[in-house]
Copies of this chain bind each other. A is one copy, B any other.
C-alpha cells in the first residue's frame, strides 16, 4: 500500500487522526506507527506536525471523495441509491468495530476555531466533496440546484450519523439517516452516465 517513507508517514498520520483527532496525536506515535524515526518525519516534512496533518488529510479527503459516487454508481433510482449508500457505510463501520471512517470531520470539528491552517485545509476538502458530488449528480441527470442541495444534505447527514454511530456503537443512526434522506427522493431516476467527478481538492501540499 504505502511504499515510500513519505507515504507511510502520511498513511500512519491519517490512521491516527481518524481515531484521535489532531491534538491527541503525538509525533512519537506517528513515528512508531509508520516505522520511521522522528528525525525522518522532519526531514520529509519540514513544516512539522501541521504539514503532516494537512497532507494526510488532503490524501484521505481525495480518497473519501470518490466514495459517494462509487456507492451511487450501480443504482438508477436516487432513493434506492441513497439508502444503499448509508447501508454500506453502516456495514463498514460495524465491520471495523465502529472506528470512524474519515479523519476530516473529526479534525475539522476540533480545529475550526483554533488552527487556521487546518480549518482552511478541511474547508478545501469539504468544498471539493460538495463541488465534485454536485457535478456527479448533475452528470446523472439532476438539476443543478437539486444536485447541490442533495450533496450538501448527504455529506452533512453522513458526518453527523458517523459521530452518533461511533459514540453509541450502533448502526441505527446511519440506517435511519439513510432512510430519512431517501424518503424525499424515491422514484427520482438517475441517468446512466459514466463520467467521473473532478477532484479539485489539492491546494495544501505546497
A interface vs B, CB < 8 Å?
19-24, 98-100, 105-106, 108-114, 119, 122-123, 126-127, 149-150, 152-153, 155-164, 166-169, 172-173, 176-177, 179-181, 183-184
Contact = CB atoms under 8 A, between A and B. Distances in A.
Nearest to A149: B176
Nearest to A159: B160
Contacts of A105: 109, 160, 163
Contact of A158 (B19, B22, B160): B160
A49 B156 CA distance: 31
Could you say which of A108, A114, A127, A159 has the most chain B C-beta atoms within 10 Å of its C-beta? A159
Contacts of A113: 19-20, 99-100, 166
Contacts of A24: 22-23, 110-111, 114
Contacts of A155: 160, 164
Contacts of A177: 152-153, 156-157
Could you say which of A123, A160, A168, A169 has the most chain B C-beta atoms within 10 Å of its C-beta? A160
A179 B21 CA distance: 30
Nearest to A183: B184
Contacts of A158: 160
